[in-house]
Amino acid sequence: MGQTFVEKVLARRAGLDSVVPGQIVTVRPDKLLTHDNTAAISRQFRKIGVDRVADPNMNVIVLDHVTPAANETYATNHKITREFVAEQGISAFYDIGEGICHQVLPEKGHAWPGAVIVGSDSHTPTYGAFGAFSAGIGRTEAAAVMATGQIWLRVPESLRIVVSGKLPAQVSAKDVILHIIGDLRADGANYCSVELTGETIRHMSVASRMVLTNMAAEMGAKNSVVEPDDKTHAWLQGRVMNGYEEIHADPDATYERVIEYDVSGLLPQVARPHTVDNVVAVKELADTPINQALIGTCTNGRLEDLEAAADILRGQHIASNVRLLVLPASREVLLAAIERGIVSDLVTAGATLLNPGCGPCLGAHEGCMAPGEVTISTANRNFKGRMGSKEALIYLGSPATVAASALTGVITDPREV
């Protein structure tokens, strides 16, 4: 009987011929991601009572959530993390300024087709864009993986989402995934492995595929995966130094559900407060005033995202009553954007350029909102209180939609500017 991607990868890693959904297996991950929460994880690790991590080469640690440290407490967390890294001999450590973990980890060669990656961050499924199995876990669980080098996983049911049709102008991967989440809802893929396939996705860049797998978390997916192809290999060339074996679902695999979307007529989409599945076409919200616009985050802070914004804002200036924050996803993205003149275009248009990192997405620093304020953001979450005040509103859209809205001061369809 044919097997899905996740059945194959987990069976192989558990040393079994096959597994079925619901079965519990124990596997040794290739990589364990932790970020600013490493300080808290190191405290849990010490409670277990072992001195050394099981395998220092398994650990990838990226400081990204509140960087540079916003106050003494954050600074102390970072210091504890750096001391832990030195004590444990962890070489894959990326200090402040390198970027957001979900961008840095693949950039530095820690994600590849067929890899098993767990991370103490809910957007860990992002690495499925490279054909990896990757899933989020909590802090204590990360500490246990550090100590034992192992984790138990329940083999999930699989969903197959087939996307076809040529995307219209100014409609991008973000619009596609918002549309899918709006349709399937916030728990539509709960506990599931989501396989994303179809001609639209095959035509997408690796960066766009990362938008899809990143946001699969917002419909409850355990992991999400895109089949690796020549684009994947080209992206990973020179980054991944180890060999790898691709894992593809069998053509006769059994899925809980197969869902098909034709996106050839898709309009720019936006998620309204306060849930990610509260999705409508941008035009339905036209003229909603905004105070702040945010372009960046692990969802949409890559070069093609900044370029899409620059294409709209070049030679123009944002509305006088709007603050536009731009956060490249990594140092590499920032340098490329500088080289191509994109940073200059955005800053000249009125953008405030922030350092690569998570920025205000989780409401800790660099652009939190006051009561009654409205932000339109390229991030992946619009929960109440997420970016500061619980009386503030967050809308989610594509980089083009956010840039168009910054230009006019109201939520704007990017095809109209």
The residues that touch other proteins, with contacts defined as CB under 8 A, are: 24, 36-37, 40, 43-44, 47-50, 65-66, 71, 73-74, 77, 120-122, 124, 136-141, 143-144, 147-148, 152, 154, 186-187, 190-191, 220, 222, 275, 277, 362-364, 368, 381, 383-386, 388, 390
Least Å distance, CB 32 to other proteins, is 13
Amino acid letter for position 168: P
**Minimum distance from CB of 4 to other proteins (Å)?**
17
DSSP class of residue 150? -
Nearer to other proteins, 77 or 232 (CB): 77
Q: How far is the CB of 59 from other proteins (least distance, A)?
A: 17
- What's the closest the beta carbon of residue 18 comes to other proteins, in angstroms? 19
CA distance 402 to 102: 22
As measured in angstroms, the least distance from the Cβ of 284 to other proteins is 21
Closest distance between other proteins and the C-beta of residue 193, in Å? Answer: 11
- Our CB check for other proteins shows the closer of 49 and 243 to be 49
Q: How many helices (H) and strands (E) does the chain have?
A: 14, 18
Q: 101 in helix, strand or coil?
A: helix
261 phi and psi angles, rounded to 5 deg: -130, 135
Cα distances from 60 to residues 12, 166, 220, 297, 414, in angstroms, run: 23, 37, 24, 19, 38
Between 101 and 306, CB nearer to other proteins: 101
Q: How far is residue 79's CA from residue 414's CA, in Å, rounded to a whole number?
A: 43
Residue with tokens 């684009």: 231
Write down the least CB distance from residue 29 to other proteins, Å. Answer: 15
Q: Which is nearer to other proteins, 78 or 209 (CB)?
A: 78
CB 139 → other proteins: shortest distance, Å? 5
**Separation between Cα atoms, residue 29 and residue 31, nearest integer Å:** 5
Q: In which region does residue 381 sit, left (phi positive, over 0), alpha (psi from -120 to 50) or beta (all else)?
A: beta
Distance CA 226, CA 223 (A): 11
Give whichever of 74 and 244 is closer to other proteins, judged by the CB atom: 74
Closer Cβ to other proteins, 55 or 229, answer by number: 55
Cis status, amide bond into 274, omega within 30 of 0: yes
Q: Of 234 and 370, which CB lies nearer to other proteins in the complex structure?
A: 370
Rounded distance between C-alpha atoms, residue 46 and residue 148, angstroms: 13
Q: Which is nearer to other proteins, 25 or 347 (CB)?
A: 25
Identify any residues that bridge with 158 across adjacent strands, giving them in sequence order: 193
Q: What does DSSP say about strands 393-396 and 374-377: parallel, antiparallel, or unpaired?
A: parallel
